[in-house]
Chains A and B, each alone.
Chain A
Amino acid sequence: MTAAGPATVPVTAALALGDDALVLSHRLGEWAGHAPVLEEEVALANIALDLLGQARVLLSLAGDEDELAFLREERSFRNLQLVEQPNGDFAHTIARQLYFSTYQHLLHAELAAGDGPFAPLAAKAVKEVAYHRDHAEQWTLRLGDGTETSHERMRRACDALWRFTGELFQPVEGLDVDWADLESRWVESVTRVLGRATLTVPEGPRTGAWSAGAGRQGVHTESFGRMLAEMQHLHRSHPGASW
């Protein structure tokens, strides 16, 4: 699309990061009209729009943004399985936000500090993502250290999504990042937040046979297909439509 086309940008990495942002943006957008309170609905929509902005830049680096978003099949998407997980209850959405925003914040801070092709984008995104991370942490504290019900729901959500978090630290081709160091800082941060929220770090496996995660290779979970159908049907029904 632009002058800085596929020749200079690692397409695999642009797709991986762009698909993460696009898919999570769509999931968060699903809360519109359903969030527990109006104020929170606006907060989630704001986060979704930040992510959509990032996705547009990243996908444009990899090719035509509309074609990539609306005309690819499920197996061509390179997003993490974590971000495609259904919203569930509010606690599930917050747990997903906590795991992903912490990862995204650490990753973009690293990319912004380097001089790779993603540095300019990351420098802008890191400020947005810092707010997403703060939002998730604030809510984790309140739900975990809230009522008996909210604590139980938050615990269940953190446990359920834990097995998707190992995939976050699979190296992405074209990103010059110390993944092991990123992972240890992520674990340290999430452990600290969960501890303050009177929650314990889930014990299940994050890597190996019983963990999840081959989204970067195009393997996705069951609910992703339905999400994609909803996201793409308008563009596919009315090709080239605009307003």
Chain B
Amino acid sequence: MSTTDWPLWEVFVRSRRGLSHTHAGSLHAPDAELALRNARDLYTRRGEGVSIWVVPATAITASSPDEKDPFFEPAADKPYRHPTFYEIPDGVKHL
């Protein structure tokens, strides 16, 4: 295997109609069309999906691990924000 300067793509797969696309992994490809085909071969060949998105990894802006505390810490000690004080009726299955 030679090294390649092909760009990195992030792959999102919708597993069933009605569900949202979920991050499946990443791959290298020279352009979007081949990225889509590579994604089909790498992530959906066992019937995992009905739709694929590929996104250039450079197009994603991610939160930094350094900002973890300011970003996420304040949410932890405010239990009233969490809907955990309700009795869940028996009939509700997917909550």
In whole Å, how far is B44's beta carbon from the nearest beta carbon of chain A? 11
Judging by beta carbons under 8 Å apart, are B1 and A43 in contact? no
Judging by beta carbons under 8 Å apart, are A38 and B1 in contact? yes
Judging by beta carbons under 8 Å apart, are B1 and A138 in contact? no
Q: Is B28 an interface residue (CB 8 A)?
A: yes
Q: Is B90 an interface residue (CB 8 A)?
A: no
Complex alpha-carbon distance, A37 and B4, angstroms: 8
| A35, A36, A43, A134 interface centre (most CB from chain B within 10 Å) | A43
Interface string of A27-47 (1 = CB under 8 A from B): 000000001111110110010
Q: Is A196 an interface residue (CB 8 A)?
A: no
Known pairs A37-B6, A38-B1; A43 contacts B28 (CB<8 A): no
Interface residues of A in 87-146 (CB under 8 A from B): 134-135, 138, 142
Judging by beta carbons under 8 Å apart, are B38 and A43 in contact? yes
Least CB separation from A41: chain B residue: B1
Judging by beta carbons under 8 Å apart, are A37 and B37 in contact? no
Judging by beta carbons under 8 Å apart, are A42 and B37 in contact? no
**B: interface residue count bin:** 10 to 19
| A40, A135, A138 interface centre (most CB from chain B within 10 Å) | A40
Judging by beta carbons under 8 Å apart, are B2 and A138 in contact? no
Residues in chain A near residue B41, CB distance under 8 A: 39, 42-43, 46
Least CB separation from B3: chain A residue: A37
Judging by beta carbons under 8 Å apart, are B1 and A46 in contact? no
Q: Is B73 an interface residue (CB 8 A)?
A: no
Q: Is B34 an interface residue (CB 8 A)?
A: yes
In whole Å, how far is A148's beta carbon from the nearest beta carbon of chain B? 17
Residues in chain B near residue A138, CB distance under 8 A: 33-34, 37
Residues in chain B near residue A35, CB distance under 8 A: 1
Judging by beta carbons under 8 Å apart, are A39 and B2 in contact? no
Residues in chain A near residue B4, CB distance under 8 A: 36-37
In whole Å, how far is B32's beta carbon from the nearest beta carbon of chain A? 12
Interface residues of A in 150-194 (CB under 8 A from B): none
Pairs across A and B, CB under 8 Å, 5 listed: A35-B1, A37-B4, A39-B38, A39-B41, A46-B41
Q: Which residues of A contact B (CB under 8 A)?
A: 35-40, 42-43, 46, 134-135, 138, 142
Besides the contacts A39-B42, A42-B42, A43-B38, what 8 more A-B pairs have beta carbons closer than 8 Å? A39-B28, A39-B29, A40-B38, A42-B38, A42-B41, A134-B37, A138-B37, A142-B30
